[in-house]
Structure 1
Amino acid sequence: MGKITIGVNKDLKIKRYMSFSKFESLITSGKLYFSRFDRFPDKLEGGISSQNYPDVSTSLELLDLALNYRASEPPSSEKSQLEERIHKVDHDTFQGLFGSEKKINGDTYLKLISTWLYANCWTDLEHECEAMWSLYGITGVGCSHDDCCTQCESTHGMSVCIETSVGSILENLVLDERYNLSIQKVEYIDHKKTKFKDSELNTKPFFSKARHFSYENEIRFILWPDRADISFSYAFGQSTTNEENSVELKIKSMNSFIHKIILSPIPFKKSVEIRKSHNDNYQSSLGLQESLSNKTLRKKIESLCFENSVNVEIVDSDLNQSITNDCYTYAEHLTSAR
């Protein structure tokens, strides 16, 4: 059985934003999907800074030796020192994810290590985040399509945020004994300046992310094979390759895995239309929040949950809130806050 490492409180509440299609896949398959690291759009994921490069690679030493060492030269103290350096380069190691690695293979390790990791990402933000709805609440991660989001437009307002806890995920995942699991809070770093300690090089880079993404407040679940036979070699074609593009872990009970389902706010353009029409008709914001409720999505989610025997709380987005501008809306907000 692989090792399990938990670096956060099990009672920690966490959220995950996803498109309706991904939520549907979660409910119907009953499995939690882990993406392979090298499939992430952020290519700094799992990387080290230039300051750590000499800690995992001897390429600079090898280059220097190649320029200065001459095997045919007669014995001398200088040649002896160079031969000692060659011996050291051949045997220098660092602590990698799969144990001790030779620094001579360091460049290959840096290039290939992300192909062996799988992640499932959450946020511990207590409140909803509009940016997270925009980035992860549509088909795909954000929108990188060539035709300016027309492929994603139909998915706007058709996404969910599921709320749970670290403990509930752990209790309900059927762990695969072939993999180690680690759960940690992501640290946001400056890859130009950060230097990891030698003792951190095995896992810390994989729980670090560029500071530009700090708004995510990520809690990361990472899987990697519990194996000692994975090799990274500087020799072409001799490294162990990974053919598994993803990992899925079965969920025991969806009803205890998910605590709450939050419906996405309706699309901005539609929201503007509803607010204008409501205010024109009633000259008040009273009842506006109900008008902004995502009823179409609620019906789809309720139907999907019913068909799969999932019975959890479904709530509207806090982003649907309307402003208090008269005594009627004041009273309405007092009632809803109770």
Structure 2
Amino acid sequence: MDLAKFISILKNSTLYFSAPDGFSDIYEGAHGELKNKKAWDDFYFSFARASIITAPDNRWHKIEPEKLKDNAKRLVKEISQTWKKGVYINCWYRSEFESEAMWKMYSVNVKNAIAIQTSYGNLKKELGEKVAIKPIRYVDYSKQFIGPNEEFWCKRKSFEYEKEVRAIIHDFSNTQNSGIEISVDLNKLIQNVYISPYSPKWFQEIVVDLIIRYGYKFNVLTSSMSEIPF
């Protein structure tokens, strides 16, 4: 992240969860490739149709086939749309080591970048039970479909290098926001703060000063990628 985002975290003691429509990946929330949509529709319409027919009151047994098909389509569409409304996502990189690709991707135009480190346990404890946390599953969309409720837990295999873990919350009272903030105890959440290997030496002093000014006690570490070889 850049310095402005880090200051926002320090000032507000919050983590920002973005609405997925602000992401650049066109496959966010996708079920599969468009060329295979009919097969996906047929499968889930059949599933929804069977669910309607086996409803406890049995009133759907007398419905005309075409109307039954329309109701099945409506059910599938409503399930998908409901899940996508009010979704907010916070993304993390999971690895024992830093990644040059990740530093460059998220600080390509910002040499003075920062990364914060936490653990799954700390993240789960601070965000609470309303927030789901899972690793992203990387899939081949040309060979499989992503079912309802799984759209935002999957990405294309071409993104596998990201080793992404997501925290996702549904807030149906705020379906139009570009993002929401969730309060956390930063002293309990953040284990270390890493300084970009591409930043000048003076930048670390500024980061340390800001942390102290806002009353925190994080370890501030220079990226191991800054080490000079021989």
With the shorter chain as reference, the TM-score category is 0.7 to 0.9
| Alignment partner, residue 207 of structure 1 | 153
Per-residue CA deviation, residues 43-72 of structure 1 (Å, 9 max, x unaligned), is: 2012102343334458xxxxxxxxxxxxxx
Which of 174, 178, 188 aligns to 2:138? It is: 188
Name the amino acid aligned to 2:13.
G
Matches of 1:43 and 1:113, distance apart in 2: 18
| Map 1:4-15 → 2, pairs under 5 A | none
Deviation at 1:39, TM superposition (A): 1.4
**Where in structure 1 do 4 or more consecutive aligned residues deviate above 6 Å?**
none
| Alignment partner, residue 114 of structure 1 | 84
| Alignment partner, residue 42 of structure 2 | 54
Structure whose alpha-carbon radius of gyration is higher: 1
Name the amino acid aligned to 2:196.
S
1:57·1:107 contact (CA, 8 Å) conserved in 2?
no
| Alignment partner, residue 20 of structure 1 | 3
| Alignment partner, residue 68 of structure 2 | 88
Aligned to 2:175, what secondary structure does the other structure show?
coil
Per-residue CA deviation, residues 96-128 of structure 1 (Å, 9 max, x unaligned), is: xxxxxxx22545765775342110000111110
Deviation at 1:211, TM superposition (A): 1.1
| Map 1:1-338 → 2, pairs under 5 A | 18-49=1-32, 50=36, 51-56=39-44, 84-92=64-72, 103-104=73-74, 106-107=76-77, 113-137=83-107, 152=109, 155-156=110-111, 158-173=112-127, 180-196=130-146, 201-225=147-171, 242-251=175-184, 253-266=185-198, 294-324=200-230
Aligned to 1:323, what secondary structure does the other structure show?
coil
Deviation at 1:206, TM superposition (A): 1.5
1:121·1:218 contact (CA, 8 Å) conserved in 2?
yes
Change (3 A) 1:108 1:301: same
Aligned to 1:184, what secondary structure does the other structure show?
strand
Matches of 1:108 and 1:43, distance apart in 2: 21
Change (3 A) 1:159 1:260: same
Name the amino acid aligned to 2:135.
K
Structure with greater contact order relative to length (CA < 8 Å, sep ≥ 6)? 2
Per-residue CA deviation, residues 286-333 of structure 1 (Å, 9 max, x unaligned), is: xxxxxxxx4211111011101111111111111112223xxxxxxxxx
| Alignment partner, residue 336 of structure 1 | none
Deviation at 1:26, TM superposition (A): 0.8
Change (3 A) 1:52 1:28: same
Q: TM-score if structure 2 supplies the norm length?
A: 0.80
Name the amino acid aligned to 1:52.
W
Aligned positions, number: 210
How large is the RMSD of aligned CA atoms in angstroms?
2.6
Deviation at 1:247, TM superposition (A): 1.4
Aligned to 1:28, what secondary structure does the other structure show?
helix
Matches of 2:126 and 2:145, distance apart in 1: 37
Deviation at 1:249, TM superposition (A): 0.5
Runs (5+) with no aligned partner, structure 1: 1-17, 59-82, 93-102, 139-151, 228-240, 268-293, 325-338
Name the % identity: 25
Per-residue CA deviation, residues 120-146 of structure 1 (Å, 9 max, x unaligned), is: 0001111100111111135xxxxxxxx
Name the amino acid aligned to 2:104.
S
2:86·2:172 contact (CA, 8 Å) conserved in 1?
no
2:85·2:172 contact (CA, 8 Å) conserved in 1?
no
